[in-house]
Amino acid sequence: MHTSISEILKEKTLKPSRRSLPCLAQSQTHPQSLHHFLSIPLSPERETHTHNVSTSCTHITPQTAESTEAPKDQYVEVSEAGGFESRIEESLLIQKPVFRAKLECRTESIKSVKNTRLLPSGLLFRDGKKRIDYILVYKKSSPQVEKRCTFERNLRAEGLMLEKEPSLTNNDIMFVKIHAPWDTLCKYAEQMNIRMPFRKKCYFSDWKKKAMGSRFHLRCRQVKSWLPRNPMKLDKEALPDLEETDCYTAPFSRARMHHFTINNRETFFSNSTRSRIVHHVLQRTKYEDGKSKMGINRLLSNSTYEAAFPPHEGGYKSRHPIKTHGAQNHRHLLYERWARWGIWYKYQPLDLIRRYFGEKIGLYFAWLGWYTGMLIPAALVGLFVFLYGLFTMDSSQVSKEICEGNTTIMCPMCEGNCSSWRLSDSCVYAKVTHLFDNGGTVFFAIFMAIWATVFLEFWKRRRAELTYDWDLIDWEEEEEELRPQFEAKYSRVERVNPISGKPEPFQPFTDKLSRLMVSVSGIFFMISLVLTAVFAVVVFRLIAMEKFASFQWEFVKKNWQFATSGTGVFINFIIIMSLNVVYEKVAYLLTNLEHPRTESEWEDSFALKMFLFQFVNLNSSTFYIAFFLGRFAGRPGKYNKLFNRWRLEECHPSGCLIDLCLQMGVIMVFKQIWNNFMELGYPLLQNWWARRKMRKRGGGGVVDGDEAGVAGGGEAGCPATDGKTQLPQWDKDWNLQPMNAHGLVDEYLEMVLQFGFTTIFVAAFPLAPLLALLNNIIEIRLDAYKFVTQWRRPMPARATDIGIWHGILEGIGVLAVITNAFVIAITSDYIPRFVYAFKYGPCVNKGYHHENKCLEGYVNSSLSVFDMGEPKNNSLIQSRLCRYRDYRAPPWSAEPYEFTLQFWHVLAARLAFIIVFEHLVFGIKSFIAYLIPDMPKELCERMRREKYLMQEMMYEAELEHLQKERKKNGRRCHHEWP
């Protein structure tokens, strides 16, 4: 016998559950003027049934002078379907008065415009009732008329309603407006397992707060009210649309329609859900006979259609302030509370982003915001390490000895016109090196390795909370649809899906393996191309080093190392950005060759290839500088040469870390600037050029974009007050740029590569987290502005996590520990200084270890002696002996130029440090990952509790429905199952 849910709810103190998917019927949350764009006018009386007239593409006879110039293959709609009557009973709907939205323009604007045809609204059909859920765009001059007509005829057969509209800016462009009626939405919502809100809402019991007592929480609220308000939080008044009631959800079922909360059919399915359903139909509708002739993607690729996109919900600007008049629509609200630069310090309205753009884009911005917030402590610690090096730069013993080395003669840097030079000439170089190679380097490397683990572990918890709030807990990958290309390719071979039990196309293992081998071969070929480019940069550096070291200008000759490193970095940056264009096309071809099963598998495969290509392309030269530069140069008198022509590079007497720092700083800064320009500047230029061409074609009497919303105040498709006609929404969206064809891959890729720069070589560049933080603050608003104003509205997609990027981030975290251990042990001079201080310095066996005192004589100890023979007559420095950076015996010893004992001590210390550092940091990372659970305990308890209550709710709802049926039929009512 089941327990009544009303008895369950009386047991405990109740608190509302935080679920992000609203009970749309019970929520009056639209902004003040939002009904002008979103509400569908309904007659207060029941609509009469109208017959559905079949439509077809029919050639029309020109009737006007203007129409005679139209192409002969111009096709328009003859008629549209009338209305789709619902099959559910009216008694199952919760009756609520619905007011008709006024969509006509102001009478003053109409009177001021003569001979101007009143255009239909940009969000509705001509009847002013049917909402536009999707837009298709094609050219009248396109020869693919038969495919288009067949495709549209099949769309109507699937239950969609179509209406065509010509463009106001281009006579060759025709728009197809698509509306999904109620029956079609219900049918495909059931097929797609879309979760919808229940008719009843319930609350979960907060056990912890009741156990601790209400007084404690009352005191906490009082103390919190005394604290200053967090300026980063958004006001509730600023986002009135987020104040909504919550309810449980379940997969939609037409058989159990009475379980769901349906106040208004037009608002029961949100705009993003309606667009997703229509997109699902478009992906699976045939345009020709044959299994492979299906899907809107193929029609876009063969130019049958020019574009396909869901419409924006109106303009993003208004001549009235949002504080006094409210938001016109969700797009306007997003612009004012998210995309404007003036609110860069505010938290992001993630619920609103998710509702407008879908869960997949919402998760991206949630991850980006979380990553940016976690960069704050890393940036502060890195800044403190840099400031420590800055304040101790003049007091550093190593810098002092180099700057005071006027009598120390260094060996020539080349074997041609180069001459000897004094150690003091590199004083500035040594001081700059100390900024990044000081006592805080090891601490910061350990801190960043632990920070990467904490960041990923706490993101798992944050993701769990978001998937719960956004109702994605039960959304599994098995529910994802197959890609049309996969279905068309492997339709002949089928097998039963072990999850659904239904037959579906299957890719044989041999075919999959062969395609995978070809793809892997292509990846290795492109990586070898990257290494070839790095080798070319190395050769350039060798040639440049020889030229700059013997340059006529004294300034360039004195700073030849800066000149060599700087020019090498810039050349490398140009090669990196050039090869990225090639890699993107190759990765796209290889991914399509594999024929992934679902869209998520396609994106994961493409993302992995793009990451491998760009990671190797971006970091290969950095790895060369960090671990190979100066390691195989040889010694004076026996230098190693490339092709027996160019001598390999040597490190500065103060180390090679400054070269690595310069490489990272230049590439990181310039790449971020270039990416920001391509993300915002390039779309702005494209949209400006499109508007310019539109005006040249004679559209000067039309206001595009949101100009009329600010200047004239007219609505979409209505005459503005200045005598110009505002474009309807479909024309505005057509003039915007489409979202990247690869989705969010480029957005994630940019941030993941930045994460690699921030963690992998952070020991060489402690300012990397600070630069990343500043860039990400700009990046969030750039992406927001781009999504809201410059791009067409993307198709709302669902996702439970960030996909393959999480695994890549974890791999980068592991690689960061290894590389930082090698950077500290091999690239920096930390280990040689440590060995000298405790083994060879003046503090040995004295019981105290002061850094500066213990390093006295370190520079002299790290330089070896070479006999150059008789000096040249034209040399400014007349000396027989010179010094070079190495641990070798002097020429007068028994074994000249052999490695000394100090060299072997340093080598052993370096290897020991790598082993100890890696084991220590990996141990700390594993311990922290064990301590931090992936899901908060309170959230686990809440999910189990709500799952139980949902089962009880389903039982009682079904029982109540059966009782009503028995009463109608005059039978006895039972309180239990019959």
**Can you give the pLDDT at residue 305?**
92
**Can you give the pLDDT at residue 134?**
93
- Report the pLDDT averaged over residues 637-655: 73
Alpha helices in 227-345 (DSSP H): 265-268, 271-283, 296-301, 322-325, 330-334
In degrees rounded to 5, what are phi and psi of residue 548?
-70, -35
Judged by average pLDDT, the poorest of 209-213, 429-433, 870-874 is 209-213
Please determine, for residue 835, whether its predicted confidence score (pLDDT) is greater than 80. Answer: yes
Contact 243, 46 (CB under 8 A): no
How remote is the C-alpha of 636 from its chain's centroid?
Answer: 51
Residue 234 identity (one-letter amino acid): L
Please determine, for residue 757, whether its predicted confidence score (pLDDT) is greater than 60. Answer: yes
**Can you give the pLDDT at residue 432?**
82
Q: Which residues fall within 8 angstroms of residue 627, CB to CB, at 6 or more apart?
A: 822, 826, 827
In degrees rounded to 5, what are phi and psi of residue 863?
-110, 135
**Can you give the pLDDT at residue 344?**
84
Tokens of 298: 């193929």
**Can you give the pLDDT at residue 655?**
65
Query: Using the 8-state DSSP alphabet, how is residue 868 labeled?
Result: -
Nearest CA among 333, 310, 159, 341 for reference residue 781: 341
Helix (H) / strand (E) element for 915: namely helix 901-931
Tokens of 896: 């000249």
Q: What percent of the chain has pLDDT over 90?
A: 13
Confidence band for 370, pLDDT divided at 50, 70 and 90: very high
Residue that wins the pLDDT comparison between 906 and 954: 906
User: What does DSSP say about strands 646-647 and 702-703: parallel, antiparallel, or unpaired?
Assistant: unpaired
**Can you give the pLDDT at residue 91?**
32
For 898-913, letters b (16+ CB in 10 Å) and e give: eebebbebbbebbeeb
Environment class of 213 (CB within 10 Å of its CB; exposed 0-12, middle 13-18, buried 19+)? exposed
Nearest CA among 44, 266, 55, 106 for reference residue 726: 106
Q: What percent of the chain has pLDDT over 70?
A: 73
Residue 15's beta-bridge partner residues?
204
For 300-331, letters b (16+ CB in 10 Å) and e give: beeebbbbbbbbbbbbbbbeeebeeebbbbbb
For 699-726, letters b (16+ CB in 10 Å) and e give: beebbbbbbbbebbbbbbbbbbbeebbb
**Can you give the pLDDT at residue 78?**
36
Please determine, for residue 415, whether its predicted confidence score (pLDDT) is greater than 80. Answer: no
pTM: 0.78
**Can you give the pLDDT at residue 907?**
92
- List C-alpha distances in Å: 845 to 63, 841, 842: 107, 10, 9
Nearest CA among 605, 610, 563, 608 for reference residue 582: 610
Residue that wins the pLDDT comparison between 252 and 21: 252
Please determine, for residue 45, whether its predicted confidence score (pLDDT) is greater than 70. Answer: no
Residue 131's beta-bridge partner residues?
124
**Can you give the pLDDT at residue 164?**
92
Please determine, for residue 177, whether its predicted confidence score (pLDDT) is greater than 90. Answer: yes
Residue 137's beta-bridge partner residues?
175, 307
Please determine, for residue 717, whether its predicted confidence score (pLDDT) is greater than 50. Answer: no
Contact 647, 546 (CB under 8 A): yes
**Can you give the pLDDT at residue 764?**
81
Residue 465's beta-bridge partner residues?
none
Please determine, for residue 787, whether its predicted confidence score (pLDDT) is greater than 80. Answer: yes
Tokens of 194: 């879309």
Q: Which residues fall within 8 angstroms of residue 756, CB to CB, at 6 or more apart?
A: 615, 618, 619, 812, 815, 816
What is the chain's Cα-based Rg? 35
Please determine, for residue 650, whether its predicted confidence score (pLDDT) is greater than 50. Answer: yes
Confidence band for 874, pLDDT divided at 50, 70 and 90: low
Highest mean pLDDT among 53-67, 189-203, 359-373: 359-373
Contact 602, 803 (CB under 8 A): no
**Can you give the pLDDT at residue 367?**
94
Residue 136 identity (one-letter amino acid): L
3-state DSSP assignment of residue 308: strand
Residue 76's beta-bridge partner residues?
58
- Report the pLDDT averaged over residues 660-672: 80
DSSP-assigned letters across all residues of 570-630? HHHHHHHHHHHHHHHHHHHHHHHHH--SBHHHHHHHHHHHHHHHHHHHHHHHHHHHHHTTT
**Can you give the pLDDT at residue 724?**
59
- Report the pLDDT averaged over residues 824-842: 85
Environment class of 422 (CB within 10 Å of its CB; exposed 0-12, middle 13-18, buried 19+)? middle
Residue that wins the pLDDT comparison between 763 and 381: 381
Please determine, for residue 819, whether its predicted confidence score (pLDDT) is greater than 50. Answer: yes
DSSP-assigned letters across all residues of 53-88? ----EEE----STTGGGS-TT-EEES---------S
**Can you give the pLDDT at residue 752?**
92
- What pLDDT, in 10s, does the model give residues 227-247? 676 667 776 666 655 544 467
CA distance 728 to 554: 66
**Can you give the pLDDT at residue 111?**
36
CA distance 601 to 606: 8
- List C-alpha distances in Å: 93 to 410, 562, 895, 967: 91, 76, 99, 18
**Can you give the pLDDT at residue 770?**
92
Half-sphere exposure of 655 (CA within 13 A, CB side): 30
- Report the pLDDT averaged over residues 906-934: 90
**Can you give the pLDDT at residue 412?**
80
Confidence band for 19, pLDDT divided at 50, 70 and 90: very low
519 torsion bin: left (phi>0), alpha (psi -120 to 50), beta (else): alpha
CA distance 601 to 585: 18
Environment class of 259 (CB within 10 Å of its CB; exposed 0-12, middle 13-18, buried 19+)? buried
**Can you give the pLDDT at residue 704?**
55
Query: Using the 8-state DSSP alphabet, how is residue 719 labeled?
Result: B
Please determine, for residue 329, whether its predicted confidence score (pLDDT) is greater than 90. Answer: no
Contact 485, 552 (CB under 8 A): no
- What pLDDT, in 10s, does the model give residues 103-132? 333 333 333 333 333 334 568 888 888 899
Half-sphere exposure of 671 (CA within 13 A, CB side): 26
DSSP-assigned letters across all residues of 364-420? HHHHHHHHHHHHHHHHHHHHHHHHHHHHTTTT-HHHHHHHT-SSPEEPPSSSSS---
Confidence band for 142, pLDDT divided at 50, 70 and 90: confident
Contact 537, 621 (CB under 8 A): yes
Confidence band for 161, pLDDT divided at 50, 70 and 90: very high
CA distance 281 to 275: 10
CA distance 105 to 84: 28
Q: Which residues fall within 8 angstroms of residue 682, CB to CB, at 6 or more apart?
A: none
CA distance 113 to 135: 29
**Can you give the pLDDT at residue 321?**
81
Please determine, for residue 222, whether its predicted confidence score (pLDDT) is greater than 80. Answer: no
Nearest CA among 468, 663, 614, 496 for reference residue 21: 468
Environment class of 65 (CB within 10 Å of its CB; exposed 0-12, middle 13-18, buried 19+)? exposed
Contact 185, 269 (CB under 8 A): yes
Please determine, for residue 102, whether its predicted confidence score (pLDDT) is greater than 80. Answer: no
CA distance 795 to 132: 14
Tokens of 829: 């001079």
Alpha helices in 10-51 (DSSP H): 35-38
Confidence band for 549, pLDDT divided at 50, 70 and 90: low
3-state DSSP assignment of residue 96: coil
CA distance 352 to 24: 14
- Report the pLDDT averaged over residues 739-767: 86
**Can you give the pLDDT at residue 384?**
92
For 98-112, letters b (16+ CB in 10 Å) and e give: beebebebeeebeee
Residue that wins the pLDDT comparison between 687 and 469: 469
Confidence band for 63, pLDDT divided at 50, 70 and 90: very low
Q: Which residues fall within 8 angstroms of residue 408, CB to CB, at 6 or more apart?
A: 422, 423, 424, 860, 863, 883
- Ordered strands of the 307-309 beta sheet: 161-166, 173-179, 134-139, 307-309
**Can you give the pLDDT at residue 236?**
65
